[in-house]
């Protein structure tokens, strides 16, 4: 059985191209480490241009027959994958913990989304994809019909490697496209290769779903290929705003559509009538879940003047209880930072804020591979931590003089992904939600929130190109034609 070959731990992991496990041309590999221990987790094939070309060719060749399958036939593969995933979930959880420093709870949360997304994909195969429109011309019929875009190039990150990779391509496949996925160099196994095994075992035809892995140095080559190869029709990218901008610019030059989900600077607005314990729990969860390495992490906690001191005291007291630990321990709440590059970036960002007058109320220091759960106050809009995504276990708490002041501070960002409003006045919460410049606003719930069937997306530097989820995928991964017929 092909999937077993790839699972042999002593061997380098291979690429998954056209239904076959294939070493990289020239047998090159890169190392994937356990971020907690620094041990080698896996050796993976480091794809070359020739390998990427082969994967694109396979996806292109497989697409017409895949799209021609009856919807029920396509759907059956997604149902089968959901069933197999549930059987293998424990394995996925363990790999997420070991490969990416995920805590147990976060890994379970991530896994819970997978069958939901797979079943949404199955259901998508029979959703309506056409419209009939009236005509001003007697005897004429206007139809708007959709066909699959073709081949989708997918690049995904390491922080929710399994779910964000899946979300990047699964609805596109359901709509009759084929895909090539390049997972992050920090999560090639949980973010790609295990899914290739799953999809192969679920019986997806060869070439429908391909995975190429590369080290960090190869990522740009894959990106360039997806952008410039005419056989690739759409890009799907989830990752940093920095890389998203590079790809978005390149796609604009090539007139190629791209779906982007990037960073965030997500606020929690704690109104003066908020349930304080709830607000503290939401702030803690939002700021520190997965060490704050989530695009939706709560990065700016805006608290009404009247309860600011009480909130801060409780939030600091709670946070000081949590010492970073190895996520292999089931009780771990705060685990390691994914890699040294990120740890150094976070350390520098926090140190710079302190030099400029920010006060550390909790944490503040790095002990590789960990960074303490950190709360900063006295942050001003001139500081980088006010504007830039922290993407680590740190957050800022600021005081709002009024509701308007809170909204203004929430909107003072180039990003616009997720936000929370905590209040016992539901109508007020919903009114404020409509005035926050973010693609997702949760009243009395966390900024970190996902339901696969809902329209997930951000504004501004948080992304663009459409909504994630099954409905948005119809727009993003099909091409619509207006076909008019004059019934002479
Ligand atoms: P993060 O900081 O969360 O790792 P990145 O944007 O750096 O986010 O990485 C997200 C994905 O983008 C990864 O799969 C990575 O390999 C890929 N990537 C990095 N640089 C480039 C690039 N220049 N072009 C295309 N993809 C890239």
Question: Residue with the nearest Cα to atom 19 of ligand 1?
Answer: 219
Q: Is residue 313 among the annotated active site residues?
A: no
- Rounded CA-CA distance 52/154 in Å is 12
Q: In what order do the strands lie in the sheet with 478-486?
A: 131-133, 140-148, 478-486
User: Would you state the pLDDT for residue 331?
Assistant: 86
Task: With a cut of 50, say whether residue 1 has pLDDT above it.
Answer: no
Q: Is residue 261 among the annotated active site residues?
A: yes
For residue 304, the surrounding DSSP H or E stretch is: strand 298-304
Indicate which atom in ligand 1 lies nearest the CA of residue 155: 14
- Rounded CA-CA distance 466/474 in Å is 10
Q: How far is the CA of 239 from the centre of ligand 1 (A)?
A: 6
Task: With a cut of 60, say whether residue 7 has pLDDT above it.
Answer: no
User: Is residue 110 a contact partner of residue 163, using CB atoms and an 8 Å limit?
Assistant: yes
Residues 413, 417, 423, 426: what is their CA dihedral angle, to the nearest 10 degrees?
Answer: 130
Query: For residue range 108-149, what is the model confidence (pLDDT) as tens digits?
Result: 999 999 999 999 999 999 999 999 999 999 999 999 999 999
Asked whether this complex has an ipTM greater than 0.95, the answer is yes
User: Would you state the pLDDT for residue 121?
Assistant: 98
- Indicate the burial class of 461 (C-beta count within 10 angstroms; 0-12, 13-18, 19 or more): buried
Q: How far is the CA of 156 from the centre of ligand 1 (A)?
A: 7
One DSSP character per residue, 117-183 reads HHHHHHHHTTS---EEE--SSTTEEEEEEEEE--EEEEE--SSSHHHHHHHHHHHHHHTT-EEEEE-
Helices (H), 289-425: 305-320, 340-355, 384-387, 403-411
Indicate which atom in ligand 1 lies nearest the CA of residue 338: 4
User: Is residue 338 a contact partner of residue 158, using CB atoms and an 8 Å limit?
Assistant: yes
User: Would you state the pLDDT for residue 2?
Assistant: 40
User: Is residue 275 a contact partner of residue 424, using CB atoms and an 8 Å limit?
Assistant: yes
Question: Residue with the nearest Cα to atom 13 of ligand 1?
Answer: 184
Q: How far is the CA of 262 from the centre of ligand 1 (A)?
A: 11
Question: Residue with the nearest Cα to atom 24 of ligand 1?
Answer: 220
**Mutation choice for ligand 1 from 169, 211, 239, CB with most ligand atoms inside 8 A:** 239
User: Would you state the pLDDT for residue 9?
Assistant: 54
Higher pLDDT, residue 188 or 8:
188
User: Is residue 171 a contact partner of residue 473, using CB atoms and an 8 Å limit?
Assistant: yes
Tell me 332's DSSP state.
Answer: -
CB under 8 Å to 174, separation ≥6 — which residues?
Answer: 74, 75, 78, 121, 122, 124, 125, 470, 473
Ligand 1: lining residues by beta carbon, under 6 Å: 155-159, 182, 184-185, 216, 219-220, 223, 239-240, 243, 246-247
Beta bridge partners of 377: 359
Helices and strands: H and E segment counts in the chain: 15, 22
Question: Residue with the nearest Cα to atom 22 of ligand 1?
Answer: 220
User: Would you state the pLDDT for residue 10?
Assistant: 61
Task: With a cut of 60, say whether residue 86 has pLDDT above it.
Answer: yes
Marked catalytic residue, from 185, 261, 372, 389 = 261
User: Is residue 330 a contact partner of residue 96, using CB atoms and an 8 Å limit?
Assistant: no
Higher pLDDT, residue 2 or 270:
270
- Compute CA distances 256 → 231, 234, 455, whole Å: 11, 6, 22
- Rounded CA-CA distance 351/348 in Å is 5
**Mutation choice for ligand 1 from 215, 221, 243, 390, CB with most ligand atoms inside 8 A:** 243
Indicate which atom in ligand 1 lies nearest the CA of residue 238: 10
CB under 8 Å to 309, separation ≥6 — which residues?
Answer: none
User: Cis (ω within 30 of 0) for the bond into 369?
Assistant: yes
Averaged pLDDT, 83-88: 98
For residue 76, the surrounding DSSP H or E stretch is: helix 71-100
Task: With a cut of 80, say whether residue 6 has pLDDT above it.
Answer: no
Indicate which atom in ligand 1 lies nearest the CA of residue 244: 6
Q: How far is the CA of 219 from the centre of ligand 1 (A)?
A: 7
Task: With a cut of 80, say whether residue 3 has pLDDT above it.
Answer: no
Task: With a cut of 90, say whether residue 4 has pLDDT above it.
Answer: no
**Mutation choice for ligand 1 from 30, 101, 157, 343, CB with most ligand atoms inside 8 A:** 157
Query: For residue range 397-416, what is the model confidence (pLDDT) as tens digits?
Result: 999 999 999 999 999 999 99
Marked catalytic residue, from 111, 295, 332, 372 = 295
The overall average pLDDT reported for the chain is 96
What share of the chain in percent tops pLDDT 90?
97
Averaged pLDDT, 462-469: 95
Indicate which atom in ligand 1 lies nearest the CA of residue 242: 6
- Rounded CA-CA distance 298/386 in Å is 12
Work out the angle at residue 468's Cα, subtended by the Cα atoms of residues 463 and 147, and round it to the nearest 5 degrees. Answer: 115
Task: With a cut of 50, say whether residue 28 has pLDDT above it.
Answer: yes
By DSSP bridging, strand 418-422 and strand 440-443 are: parallel
Q: How far is the CA of 195 from the centre of ligand 1 (A)?
A: 19
Question: Residue with the nearest Cα to atom 7 of ligand 1?
Answer: 240
In 55-134, the DSSP E strands lie at 131-133
Higher pLDDT, residue 5 or 158:
158
Indicate which atom in ligand 1 lies nearest the CA of residue 186: 4
pTM: 0.96
């Amino acid at each position: 059985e092909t999937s077993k070959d790839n699972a042999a731990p002593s061997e380098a992991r291979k690429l998954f191209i056209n239904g076959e496990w294939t070493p990289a041309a020239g047998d090159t590999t890169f190392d994937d480490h356990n971020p907690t221990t620094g041990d080698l987790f896996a050796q993976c094939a480091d794809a070359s241009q020739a390998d990427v070309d082969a994967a694109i060719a396979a996806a292109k060749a497989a697409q017409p027959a895949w799209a021609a399958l009856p919807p029920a036939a396509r759907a059956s593969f997604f149902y089968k994958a959901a069933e197999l995933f549930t059987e293998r979930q424990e394995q996925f959880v363990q790999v997420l913990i070991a490969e990416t420093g995920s805590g147990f709870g976060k890994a379970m949360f991530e896994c819970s989304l997978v069958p939901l997304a797979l079943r949404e994909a199955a259901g998508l195969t029979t959703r309506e994809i056409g419209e009939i429109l009236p005509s001003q011309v007697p005897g004429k019929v206007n139809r708007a019909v959709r066909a699959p875009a073709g081949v989708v190039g997918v690049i995904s990150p390491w922080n929710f490697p399994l779910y964000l990779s899946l979300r990047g391509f699964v609805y596109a496949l359901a709509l009759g496209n084929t895909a090539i996925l390049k997972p992050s160099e920090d999560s090639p196994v949980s973010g790609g290769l295990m899914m290739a095994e799953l999809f192969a075992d679920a019986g997806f035809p060869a070439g429908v779903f391909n995975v190429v892995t590369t080290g960090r140095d190869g990522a740009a080559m894959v990106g360039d290929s997806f952008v410039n190869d005419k056989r690739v029709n759409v890009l799907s990218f989830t990752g940093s705003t920095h890389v998203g901008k590079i790809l978005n610019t390149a796609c604009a030059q090539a007139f190629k559509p791209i779906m982007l989900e990037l960073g965030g600077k997500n606020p929690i607005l704690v109104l003066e009538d908020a349930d304080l314990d709830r607000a503290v729990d939401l702030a803690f969860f939002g700021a520190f879940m997965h060490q704050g390495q989530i695009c939706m992490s709560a990065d700016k906690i805006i608290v009404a003047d009247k309860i600011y001191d009480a909130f801060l005291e409780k939030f600091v007291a709670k946070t000081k209880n949590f010492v970073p630990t190895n996520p292999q321990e089931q009780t771990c709440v705060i685990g390691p930072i994914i890699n040294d590059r990120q740890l150094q970036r976070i350390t520098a960002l926090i140190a710079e804020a302190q030099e400029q007058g920010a006060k550390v109320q909790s944490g503040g220091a790095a002990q590789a591979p960990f960074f303490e759960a950190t709360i900063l106050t006295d942050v001003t809009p001139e500081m980088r931590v006010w504007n830039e995504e922290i993407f680590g276990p740190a957050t800022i708490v600021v005081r709002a003089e009024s509701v308007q002041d809170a909204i203004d501070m929430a909107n003072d960002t180039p990003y616009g992904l997720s936000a929370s409003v905590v209040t016992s006045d539901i109508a007020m919460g919903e009114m404020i939600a409509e005035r926050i410049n973010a693609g997702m606003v949760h009243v009395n719930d966390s900024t970190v929130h996902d339901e696969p069937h809902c329209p997930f997306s951000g504004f501004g530097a948080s992304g663009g190109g459409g909504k994630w989820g099954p409905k948005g995928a119809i727009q993003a991964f099909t091409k619509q034609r207006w076909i008019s017929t004059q019934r002479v």
